[in-house]
Amino acid sequence: MEVYPDGHSLRPFLDDPENGAWDGPDVALSAIEAGDPVAQNVRAKVDDQHFSVRSKDWRYTLTRKGDEELYDHRADPNEWNNLADDPEFADVKAALNESLLRITGRAN
């Protein structure tokens, strides 16, 4: 997956909502404030933040302390069941973790 630092155009979906073709990344990244204040216009350190990636069907969150959450939005749109420790979903979690680490510049 290629990283798009300036975003990716949603224009194909605006032009043709039913048939727009997506050639962007498989996940969207969200940074979540982790309780450490950051001065205005100063970039927060990656290791001091919580991050979440959302794919079409899944949300995976990795906190700055290493806690993980994994939700299947097809079966659990309200995120009631954290599947992060369920071995049945280990491959999904690993793939989303890899995407998150790559996007945030922490992949090996």
At CA 56, angle to CA 12 and CA 32, rounded to 5?
Answer: 100
- How confident is the model over 60-103, as pLDDT tens digits? 999 988 999 999 999 999 999 999 999 999 999 999 999 999 98
Domain residue limits at 44: 26-103
- Domain total in the chain: 1
What's the pTM value of the predicted model, to 2 decimals? Answer: 0.78
Q: Which pLDDT belongs to residue 2?
A: 47
Q: Which CATH number does the domain housing residue 66 bear? A: 3.30.1120.10
pLDDT for 16 beyond 70: yes
Q: Is residue 64 part of a domain?
A: yes
Q: What is the rounded average pLDDT of the residues 32-46? A: 71
Sign of CA dihedral 49, 64, 48, 7: negative
Laid out side by side, the sheet with 50-54 consists of 28-32, 50-54, 58-62, 68-72
Q: Is residue 47 part of a domain?
A: yes
Q: Is residue 13 part of a domain?
A: no
